[in-house]
Amino acid sequence: MDDKRTVKTSKRLSRILRHDPRSVGITLDEAGWVPVAELLAALARHGSRLTRAELDHVVETNNKRRFAYSPDGLRIRASQGHSVAVDLGLAAAEPPPVLFHGTTTRYLDAIFLEGLRPMSRQDVHLSADTETAVRVGSRHGRPVVLRVDAAAMAAAGHEFRLSANGVWLTDAVAPQYLAR
């Protein structure tokens, strides 16, 4: 499987497993899982033949580790980023004192007025390092990295969860916890 096909397949899987499982006629369970065999059959029915070995390659080589297999390897799900209702079953976790969020300059006024909101997703996504935040922000324009006072948020009772691929998740971040 060449790099171009790997990336294209990864993007399609992200859309299906995070946002639109109905587009290929599958239903995610309450935790976001779908049987691998069901996913592969649905993809084939919709013109995207993919072998289990190719799927394994996409899962293993995705630099963002967007997908996870169940312990028995029979089910697959997106690690985070869902706009469809799922409960990933992530336990509350103690965040590092500072987390980061990548955005672009055009959103700064709204963010400093309203804070960070999940928008179409279930959670606000935060990273533990500025490099990741820069990559995230640069997808939509000139990147800006915001500093999130996670220690103060946690002390105030806000909950954080850590996804399987290292993304920190929280319900929202109020403006008073943000700095540029």
Structure tokens at 23: 């587009």
User: Residue 140: its pLDDT value, please?
Assistant: 84
Whole-model pTM: value is 0.84
Structural domain span for residue 167: 98-179
- The answer to whether residues 72 and 111 belong to one domain is no
**CA–CA distance from 174 to each of 55, 115, 124, 178 (Å)?**
39, 4, 11, 7
Confidence (pLDDT) at 63:
82
* Count of domains observed in the chain: 2
In tens digits, what is the pLDDT along the chain, a chain of 180 residues? 899 999 999 999 999 999 999 999 999 999 999 999 999 999 999 999 999 999 999 999 988 889 999 999 999 999 999 999 999 999 999 999 999 999 999 999 999 999 999 988 899 999 999 999 999 999 888 999 999 999 999 999 999 999 988 999 999 999 999 999
Question: Which of these three, 43, 78, 113, is where a domain ends?
Answer: 78
Which domain CATH number covers 108? 3.20.170.30
Does some domain include residue 88? no
